[in-house]
A and B are shown apart, each in its own frame.
Chain A
């Protein structure tokens, strides 16, 4: 599903965020990405999202060679990847429903299909009764669940989450993780960046450990 071959990312200021990363993720896998802040977790996610281009090496995602992808193809590529952010990235000028509907509107679904799919996604994250509210009145955990609903509403083959439980207490993080696990069970490939060691221990999944831009660990928790 995802393959990194000798991937390095050096920024214009000379800082090498990632150096010679190699790993592969199978379709339907669920794994974690860990490391201190600045270790390169976000950069790795951004490379997969095509928000950055690698300085060296080759990235293949779902059969696409990302180096060969033109800028005009990137939007269509991104529609197959759901993303969840630590700060939710919700839009507070519209309702919960409209936030979740955004990817479907962009993809050009019919009005009827959008309503059906948004309600299914909101039901999945237990927020169906709050679809008319503005996300600003929701709690942090609820906002994160709206973000997840938006990430999965387009039925992506892959889900990326950057510190999805960063601001949440353990009970809420557990709730979010349960959601991710459910999506994984229906075959969605899930990659979660987190530095929450307790969470990683509980989940007991494959972990990619980054230290100063180098991949130092690959496997179930040490």
Chain B
């Protein structure tokens, strides 16, 4: 770079004596400063400096990159813990938003599980006319058992039915006081389900009704089917609710991060002025979002755990009353981990949105 101006060339350091030698610099404090550099590892001359900078080894850069990741992660966590009450509030908000859909999901998953158990044992109850004899019923049973669409047929005679009723209902004395057995003979038909198609069930029902000895046919599985459909609907609603609450978490974290960015505005400006890239500046805030999400997720697990403990004893008692060995099922280890990761991811995304909306606007002026 050559200048045409004489004054410029005249001022080149190379063409004039060093200003450091001039007597006018003899202020006492200034002199004390000038004596010291001999001790310092003197910076190399300017001409070499560009080369020195480009010589930062790639390995060092990677090391520094990962070091900045870990310091950002630790620093942002420490910052959150330095204001525990405020952080706990944010964590709680996130935890509640995570726990509600998760709890509903667990509930529906359990109901569905319950429904599946019932569907396996679903039966068609064929009630026979009262005048039908046991021999006739037995004949019907063997005939039905050979059908392709029927897996199993059990005959419960009126007397057997009464015994079972006495045993299970605890109304033995009442039953004993009855003059005659009011129960009809019953054939319990377990269909061989071909993907549980409704048409097959209906045709089976029709053919069973065709027998003159049959008074009525009850499909025990119909309500199970309806329950299944309700479960599907319920699950969809859980996902919808989960999506909405995730949006809420995004907004909460976005706003929290926005405040954090405003609080550290000065630092951001200085970092940008000394050559910090946008991703360097963004990194601590992204980690903050991640910690908010993960903390909220963990807290949600605690809430779910308490709720599970609280509900499961009641459920177990209820199941015992129904003589079922049904047990409430939780999320399990992997489900819990997924929940925490999902919450962390949501936190990170919320932070990312806030960072790239607000951080870009902060430019040194």
Contact = CB atoms under 8 A, between A and B. Distances in A.
Nearest to B18: A185
6 contacts: A26-B11, A106-B280, A110-B63, A124-B36, A182-B20, A203-B19
B56 A109 contact: yes
Interface string A142-163: 0000000010101111000000
A179 B50 CA distance: 21
Contact of A89 (B27, B29, B63, B273): B273
Interface in A185-222: 185-189, 202-206, 218-220
A96 interface: no
Contacts of B180: none
A121 to B, nearest CB: 8
Contacts of A171: 27, 29
B60 interface: yes
Contacts of A154: 53, 274-275
Contact of B274 (A102, A204, A218): A102
Interface centre among A108, A111, A184, A206 (most CB of B within 10 A): A108
Say what secondary structure dominates the interface of chain B: helix
Interface in B254-290: 266-267, 269-278, 280
Nearest to A124: B40
Contacts of B25: 174, 178, 181
A106 B275 contact: yes
Interface in A112-128: 113, 116, 120, 123-126
A157 B11 contact: no
Say what secondary structure dominates the interface of chain A: mixed
B275 A152 contact: no
A206 B8 contact: yes
B170 interface: no
Nearest to B274: A103
Interface string A1-30: 101000000000000000000011111111
A130 interface: no
A27 B67 CA distance: 35
A206 B24 CA distance: 17
B71 to A, nearest CB: 9
Interface string B17-50: 0111000110101101110110111111111011
B12 to A, nearest CB: 6
B111 to A, nearest CB: 53
Contacts of A186: 42-46
Given A27-B1, A110-B60, A178-B30, 17 more contacts: A25-B8, A76-B275, A83-B273, A108-B64, A109-B64, A113-B60, A120-B40, A154-B53, A155-B44, A174-B30, A182-B20, A186-B42, A186-B45, A187-B13, A187-B49, A219-B7, A220-B7
Contacts, number: 188
A65 interface: no
B136 interface: no
B68 interface: yes
Given A109-B64, A188-B46, A29 B13 contact: yes
Given A28-B14, A185-B13, A79 B274 contact: yes
A108 B60 contact: yes
Contact of A174 (B12, B29, B280): B29
B27 A181 contact: no
B269 to A, nearest CB: 7
A178 to B, nearest CB: 4
B169 interface: no
Contacts of A156: 49
B11 A29 contact: yes
A44 B270 CA distance: 19
Contacts of B194: none
Contact of B8 (A24, A83, A125, A175): A24
Nearest to B68: A105
Interface string A41-57: 00000100101100000
List of 9 A-B pairs having minimum Cβ-Cβ separation, nearest first:
A187-B46, A108-B64, A79-B275, A219-B7, A24-B3, A178-B30, A78-B275, A123-B40, A103-B274
Contacts of A29: 8, 11-13
A72 B32 CA distance: 42
B365 interface: yes
Nearest to B267: A91
A204 B36 CA distance: 25
B275 A107 contact: yes
B5 interface: yes
Contacts of B364: 49, 51
A162 B231 CA distance: 69
Contacts of A124: 36-37, 40, 43
A45 B301 CA distance: 55
A24 B19 CA distance: 21
Contacts of A113: 60
A52 B365 CA distance: 8
Contacts of A126: 32-33, 36
